[in-house]
Structure 1
Amino acid sequence: MTTAFYPGSFDPMTRGHLDVLVQALTVASTVIVGIGVHPGKAPMFTFEERAEMIRASLAEIVPEKAAAVSVVSFDRLVVDAARSNGAKLLIRGLRDGTDLDYEMQMAGMNRQMAPDIQTVFLPAGTASRPITATLVRQIASMGGDVSAFVPTAVLHALAAKFKR
């Protein structure tokens, strides 16, 4: 059994995140979604809200795989969080060449610090390549329709957050 660690802020989870998570379940038997918590940043959603949106989003599209995913928080180096959760793979999603350049640097540094943990790059699907959580937050906060960019559970959470 291979365990993968999929880190991110997931604030909020997008269809792009979900696409990568579903792909990760094809290369690992268990995926731990690690929600990074930074004490100096104020996320839109709490850890608990983000964890629930991730679980609900996954259950909506692949309920048979929901049990293979767990959600944890972490506030240290990704490789340390992956190791402490028993993961041998780090999952990173790629949207474009800019992501690749950044992620290759990170993978190199992570490999130096933790040669026992392998980074796996998974390409975002064509429809989800332009989606970023930052843009979703901005569009939603200004009353825009983000239904094409986020799973149903996230859409409801954003509507409640902005009272729309």
Structure 2
Amino acid sequence: MKIALFPGSFDPVTKAHVDIVKRSVALFDKVYIGIGVNSTKQGYLSVETREQMLRAVFQHDDRIHIVAYEGLTVNFCKSVGATYMIRGIRTVSDFEYEKAIAQMNHALAPDIESIFIVSKPGYSSISSTIVREIMRHNGDVAQFIPTEALAYL
């Protein structure tokens, strides 16, 4: 069974995240969406809210599992049996950053393969950081967020 992990903060989940997950499910038998919890960083949304939001978005696909985790992502991969780590790439700078992380992860866990999925052009400008900034200033984020997630904002 091919198991993959798509890690991130998902603070909040965006249409770009959903696109990467939907494209990943076609490649793997099971995809974990791992909500990385950084104890030194305060999220915009609580981890519980992010979990509920992701469950609402992906409730109709039993191949997708949502789990929050702390610690090294490669260790979490091992704990769920994932041998692939999915990363979305929007820009050249994303690639450079993700390549460095993938190389470090490979040094820590050579049996876990990083898979880069390039975002569709229409989603390349959408990031959780930008969406949070729009929300902080009471802007309308509906065009960037999956409909099922709007109720959690």
TM-score (norm 2): 0.95
* Alignment partners' CA distance in 2, 1:49 and 1:153: 13
Q: CA deviation at 1:39?
A: 1.2
* Alignment partners' CA distance in 2, 1:72 and 1:30: 13
Deviations 1:51-81 (A, max 9, x none): 111121124xxx3xx1111111111111111
Specify the code of the residue in structure 2 equivalent to 1:77. Answer: L
Counterpart residue number, 1:138: 133
Alignment counterpart, residue 89 of structure 2, candidates 85, 94, 110: 94
* Alignment partners' CA distance in 2, 1:40 and 1:113: 22
Specify the code of the residue in structure 1 equivalent to 2:50. Answer: R
* Alignment partners' CA distance in 2, 1:154 and 1:121: 25
Counterpart residue number, 1:107: 102
Q: CA deviation at 1:107?
A: 0.8
* Alignment partners' CA distance in 2, 1:71 and 1:8: 11
* Alignment partners' CA distance in 2, 1:112 and 1:139: 38
Query: Could you say what secondary structure the match of 2:39 adopts?
Result: coil
Alignment counterpart, residue 151 of structure 2, candidates 149, 156, 160: 156
Specify the code of the residue in structure 2 equivalent to 1:68. Answer: R
Gaps spanning 5+ residues in structure 2: where? none
Alignment of 1:2-151 (within 5 A): 2-59=2-59, 63=60, 66-151=61-146
TM-score (norm 1): 0.89
**Aligned-residue identity in percent:** 37
Specify the code of the residue in structure 2 equivalent to 1:11. Answer: D
How many residue pairs match? The answer is 153
Q: CA deviation at 1:94?
A: 0.3
Structure with greater proportional helix content: 1
* Alignment partners' CA distance in 2, 1:107 and 1:38: 19
Give the CA RMSD over aligned residues.
Answer: 1.1
Query: Could you say what secondary structure the match of 1:139 adopts?
Result: helix
